[in-house]
Structure 1
Amino acid sequence: MSTGKAQQGKDANIYEQVFDAILEQRLIPGTRLSEDKLGQLFGVSRTIVRTVLQRLAFEGVVEIQRHQGAIIARTTAEQARQVFAARKAVELEVVRNACRHISAVQLEHLHALVWEEQEARGQQDHGRALRLSGELHLYLAEYCGNEFLAGFLRSLVSRCSLIIAQYEAADRHSCPPTEHGAILEAIGAGDEALAVKLMAAHIDHIEAKIDVREKTAPPDLSAIFSKTNKEN
C-alpha cells in the first residue's frame, strides 16, 4: 500500500470513529477536539487529524475557531428548527426515490438493521441503538438512487444527533420502535404516499424530543475513543 493510500485509510478510520461517536451522542456540542490529543489517541500525525477535522467542519458538525482549534458545533434554537426542516425535505424525497429504485437485497439489509436496532434497545444499549438508527437512514438514502440526496442527508443526520445531544428533554419519549419497520414495509409495497406520510411523522417525532436547553459538561476524549482503538 502506498503512503498516500495508507494516509487515506487512516483518515477514513478516524473520521468514521468520530462520526459514530456523534451518532451515539458520546460527543456533545462544545467538546474541544485537540489535534494533539486525538493524534496521541489514534497514533497518527496532527496533519492526518487536521484533515479529518476539516472534513467534519465542511459537513457542519465541527467548528474550527481561530486560536481555539476545533470544537463540536453548537446549534441555536432557530438553527435546530432549520436543520429539522431541511432533514424532513430531504428524507421525504429519499423515500419517494426509494419506492421506485430500492432492490429486494437492499430492503432486506435495512430490515436487518431494524432488527439490530431493536435488539440494542432491548439490551439497553442506547448508544448502539442511536448509531444503528442513524445508519438506517443513511443506507436508505444510499439506496434511493440519488447520491446527492445521500450526501446531504449524511450531514443532516449527524447535525440532528448533535442537536438532540444539546437539547434533548429527558421527560420526552423516544420514537416508537415500530416506526422504522413500518416505513420499510410501505417502501417495499411501493406505497409512496404512505411511506412519505410515515417518514414525515417519524421526523416530527424525532424533533419532538428536544427543547431549548444546553448541556455544558464536555466528555473526556480518552474515554470515548480508547476502547474503540483497542478493539481495532
Structure 2
Amino acid sequence: MSSNSDRVEAATLALRRAIIEQALKAGTKLPEDEIGRHFSMSRTLVRAVLAKLQTQGLVDTYHKRTATVARPSLEEARDVFAVRRSLEREAMRSVMKRWSPEIEKALKNHVKEEEAAHAKGDARLSTRLAGEFHLKLATLSGNALLERYLFELVSRCSLILAMYSRPHSSECAISEHSALIAALKAQDAAAAERLMDEHLVSVETRALITEEAETAPDLGSILSRYSSAR
C-alpha cells in the first residue's frame, strides 16, 4: 500500500499535468470531495495536494470556499516573465560551470522526447515538455533554492501561456532548446544568455488575450486520464 506522501505526490502530479496541458482551464473549480473520491483520499490529503499546487502558482485557494485553477492577470504575467528571465540566466551560468557528458545526455534526451511529442502531433504534451526543459536546467544547476523558485515561475508561465497564448509551432521551441544545449557545450556564456533571452521573449510575446467562451470541464474524466498517466 502506498504511503500518504506517495498518494499526495501522485495526485499533485496528475493535477499539475492536467493544468499545464490545458485540460483544466484557468478558473476551473477543484472541489475537495470530487478530488478525494477520485484519488481515494481524505479531505486532509486533498488539501495537502491543493496546497502544493498553490505554492507552484497553479491553484488559488485564498478566501474561497472551493479551490480553483489560478487565473493570473496580464500585469502579473509581465512580472513573472521579468523575474524568470533573470533567474534563467543564473541557471544557465550554473549549468555551464557544472557541464558534463551526463548533463548533455540528460538535456538531449529531453529534446528527443519533445521531438517525439511533436511527431505525434500531441500539442498538449509538447507544451508541457517545453516547460519541463527549463525545469531540467534548473535541477541541473545544482542550486536547490534556484530550482525551487524556477519551478514555481515556469509552472506559472505555463499557466499564463495556457490562458493567453496564440497557437504556435513546437518546432520553434525544440530548435531553440537544441541551440541552447550547443551554446552550453561550447562554454559560450554570452551566446547562451542571448539565446535564452531571445527564447523567453518569443515565449512571452505569444501571450494574447482571448475572449473565447469555455465549457465547464468534466473534472472526473480529466482526473481519470491524468491519474493513469506516467
Distance 1:175 1:23 in 2: 19
- SS for the counterpart of 2:61 is strand
Distance 1:230 1:178, change over 3 A: closer
| Residue aligning to 1:9 | 6
| Residue aligning to 1:228 | 226
Shift of 1:62: 1.1
Distance 1:71 1:188 in 2: 42
Distance 1:193 1:19, change over 3 A: same
User: Does structure 1 retain, via aligned residues, the 8 Å contact 2:27–2:68?
Assistant: yes
Match for residue 157 of structure 1 among 149, 154, 157: 154
| Residue aligning to 2:86 | 89
Shift of 1:42: 1.2
User: Does structure 1 retain, via aligned residues, the 8 Å contact 2:18–2:226?
Assistant: no
Shift of 1:215: 5.0
Distance 1:175 1:133 in 2: 10
| CA deviation map 1:7-50 (0-9, x unaligned) | 11111111111122222222221011111111111121111111
Distance 2:64 2:208 in 1: 31
| Residue aligning to 1:197 | 194
Distance 1:138 1:72 in 2: 21
Query: Is 1:26 the counterpart of 2:23 in the alignment?
Result: yes
Shift of 1:224: 1.6
Distance 2:229 2:90 in 1: 38
TM alignment of 1:52-201, pairs within 5 A: 52-170=49-167, 176=172, 177-201=174-198
For 2:163, the aligned partner's letter is Q
Distance 1:215 1:89 in 2: 33
For 2:227, the aligned partner's letter is N
Shift of 1:219: 2.6
Hey, which bits of structure 1, 4+ residues long, moved more than 6 A?
none
| CA deviation map 1:97-155 (0-9, x unaligned) | 11111321122011011011011111101111112212211011100121111101111
Structure 1: unaligned runs, 5 residues or longer: none
User: Does structure 1 retain, via aligned residues, the 8 Å contact 2:87–2:150?
Assistant: yes
For 1:30, the aligned partner's letter is G
> Which stretch of structure 1 is more off in the superposition, 131-140 or 194-203?
131-140
Match for residue 34 of structure 2 among 34, 37, 53: 37
Q: Percent of pairs identical after alignment? A: 37
Distance 1:62 1:164, change over 3 A: same
Distance 1:110 1:37 in 2: 37
User: Does structure 1 retain, via aligned residues, the 8 Å contact 2:12–2:49?
Assistant: yes
- SS for the counterpart of 1:30 is coil
- SS for the counterpart of 1:178 is helix
Structure 2: unaligned runs, 5 residues or longer: none
Measured on the aligned residues, the alpha-carbon RMSD in Å equals 1.9
For 2:101, the aligned partner's letter is A
Equivalent pairs counted in the alignment come to 228
